[in-house]
Amino acid sequence: MTVGMSAAADILGVDGADHLDRDRSGGAVLQARGLCREYGTVIAVDGIDLSMAEGEFLTIFGPNGAGKSTLLGMLAGAMRPTAGSVSVRGQALSSSDTDWRHRIGMLSHKGFLYGRLTVEENLRFYGKLFGLTDLDERIPARLEQVGLTRRIRFEARQLSHGMRQRLSLARALLHDPDVVLLDEPYTGLDPSAASVLRNVLDELKDGRRTVVMVTHNLREGLEMATRVAVQVAGRFAWEGDNTGLGRQDFERHYHDVVEGLP
């Protein structure tokens, strides 16, 4: 059985339909309209609309193959949509104008690290790409934030998976972006690394950043979010405010949504 927006409101105590109809365009930091991405006959993202204000934290859940990573790639400007548009603070993402890249930080599966460069050298390289002039202060601060101060002289290839993930996070935050996009940040992390990540995400909820996180981790995802969406078959099958969603109730609802759609 398909669980629609009205049923979701009954189950979870939130009015998701009202949330989707709400006009946030006046103060939107991150906005997408009719976003689509096709790969031949496969539709990875199918007409997603999104509008997020300053300080909002959206967690997107969904099964494998739902198009979540593709959506983040388009929001980051790393992937061109087949149709639709993305803007950051009213400025359209365009390959011919890269100023908007300074407003976005993304943590993805690839990491974008150079294995033979040290931890410090990786951050210094990216800092210079962004034209940052205070790297002697900024790099130590970011490394302390992610718990890698003692690894500053290590080559990236010498780090464990969890440490590389933390270094990638430091890279994504180095230029102090307005919008932070996180693709499965908890994957493969041990409890210690996951705790560090949780602390950093708490710091990102400072009221001035806009964050979108894709994760399968229901507990962590709900704990961080101000808004929640379930993406299935390239579209948001459900979206609502996180007004005290209980994990067990949401987990049941999540499965109803995912299994109830063709």
pLDDT of residue 100: 77
pLDDT tens per residue across span 127-161: 999 999 999 999 999 999 999 999 999 999 999 98
Task: Find the mean pLDDT for residues 63-76.
Answer: 95
Residue 258: how many CB atoms within 10 A of its CB?
Answer: 19
Task: Find the mean pLDDT for residues 62-88.
Answer: 94
261 token code pair: 């759609």
Share of the chain above pLDDT 70, in %: 88
pLDDT of residue 46: 96
Q: Residues 151, 159: contact at Cβ < 8 Å?
A: yes
pLDDT of residue 144: 96
Q: Residues 107, 183: contact at Cβ < 8 Å?
A: yes
Which carries the bigger pLDDT value, residue 190 or residue 30? 30
pLDDT of residue 82: 96
Say if residue 253's pLDDT is above 90.
no
Say if residue 23's pLDDT is above 50.
no
Query: Which residues, listed in sequence order, are joined to residue 181 by a DSSP beta bridge?
Result: 106, 212
pLDDT of residue 15: 45
Rounded to two decimals, the pTM is 0.86
Which carries the bigger pLDDT value, residue 234 or residue 4? 234
Positive or negative CA dihedral for 163, 167, 172, 175? positive
- pLDDT grade, residue 163 (50/70/90)? very high
CATH assignment at residue 211: 3.40.50.300
Say if residue 244's pLDDT is above 90.
no
Helix (H) or strand (E) holding 86: strand 83-88
pLDDT of residue 152: 97
Closest CA to 45 of 54, 35, 53: 35
Task: Find the mean pLDDT for residues 218-229.
Answer: 92
Helix (H) or strand (E) holding 182: strand 179-183
pLDDT of residue 261: 60
Angle in degrees, CA 151, 206, 229, rounded to 5 = 95
pLDDT of residue 26: 55
CA–CA separation, 221 and 143 (whole Å): 24
Say if residue 17's pLDDT is above 70.
no
Secondary structure of residue 196 in the 3-state scheme: helix
Overall number of domains in the chain: 1
Which carries the bigger pLDDT value, residue 227 or residue 190? 227
Q: Report in angstroms the alpha-carbon separations of 230 from 56, 64, 80, 127, 256.
A: 17, 12, 23, 35, 11
pLDDT of residue 7: 42
Closest CA to 154 of 143, 169, 141, 138: 143
Which residue segment(s) compose the domain that 181 sits in?
A: 5-260
User: Which range has the worst mean pLDDT, 10-14, 108-112, 192-196, 202-206?
Assistant: 10-14
- Mean pLDDT, the chain, rounded, equals 87
Burial of residue 1, with CB atoms counted within 10 A of its CB: 0-12 exposed, 13-18 middle, 19 or more buried: exposed
